[in-house]
């Protein structure tokens, strides 16, 4: 697809990825988030984190199956948007739930499993974002860099676990199931591709 090679693609995708955050902050400023705007903002930022994660993990299957190698140009930017939305999600929790009382935050994290796994996922994303640049690749070496960035698999598992435990109190698992199927399918495809590459030649 010629459009994937167009120089305007990355700026357009960048602006599209910013739109949800812009709309949410506009809605918060104009009292458009319902009766509990803080909870609505926290949850919406979490939802957009998951959506961005699905997009990142879909890049490689779409590139391989669709024959669209130019999609790889978007992977780093979309990965940084996962970190961006995850950071806003975590900061919204620290602000609206904890009032930026960091001692209370540190006490709260280990007490609530869904906060703990969410924080672990964010810390992994921090490591991936900090090493997503060419200088980090050169410093780490390609093999170590690739091993570190397979941590996105753990991020996906922790994100689903975070979402599951968060919804468990209300016994509402429909959305959790959708994201679990999407992320599980994308991870399973990647594992299958690695298995095929490692399988001895001629073996079926």
Judge whether residue 75 has pLDDT over 80: yes
In the chain, where does DSSP find H-type helix? 9-29, 37-66, 75-92, 102-111, 113-130, 134-140, 142-149, 151-168, 174-198
Task: Tell me what the mean pLDDT of segment 83-109 comes to.
Answer: 96
Structure confidence at residue 201 as a pLDDT band (50, 70, 90) = low
Residues 107-165 pLDDT 10s:
999 999 999 999 999 999 999 999 999 999 899 998 999 999 999 999 999 999 999 99
- Rounded CA gap, 197 and 107, in Å? 45
Quote the percentage of the chain above a pLDDT of 90.
75
pLDDT value for 99: 94
**What is the chain's alpha carbon radius of gyration, rounded to the nearest angstrom?**
19
**Sole residue written with tokens 């930026």:** 100
Residues 56-66 pLDDT 10s:
999 999 999 88
pTM of the model: 0.92
């Amino acid at each position: 697809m010629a459009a994937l090679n167009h120089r305007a693609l990355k700026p357009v995708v960048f602006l599209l990825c910013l739109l949800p955050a812009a709309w949410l902050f506009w809605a918060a400023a104009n009292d458009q988030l319902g009766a509990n705007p803080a909870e609505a903002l926290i949850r919406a930022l979490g939802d957009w984190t998951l959506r961005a994660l699905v997009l990142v993990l879909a890049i490689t299957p779409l590139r391989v199956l669709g024959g669209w190698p130019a999609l790889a140009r978007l992977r780093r930017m979309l990965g940084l948007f996962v970190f961006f939305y995850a950071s806003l999600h975590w900061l919204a929790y620290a602000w609206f739930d904890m009032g930026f009382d960091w001692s209370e935050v540190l006490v709260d994290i280990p007490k609530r499993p869904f906060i703990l796994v969410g924080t672990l996922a964010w810390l992994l994303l921090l490591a991936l974002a900090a090493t997503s640049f060419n200088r980090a690749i050169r410093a780490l070496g390609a093999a170590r860099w690739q091993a570190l960035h397979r941590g996105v698999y753990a991020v996906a598992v922790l994100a689903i676990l975070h979402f599951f435990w968060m919804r468990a109190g209300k016994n509402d698992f429909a959305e959790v199931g959708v994201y679990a199927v999407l992320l599980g399918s994308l991870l399973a495809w990647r594992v299958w591709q690695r298995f095929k590459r490692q399988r001895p030649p001629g073996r079926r």
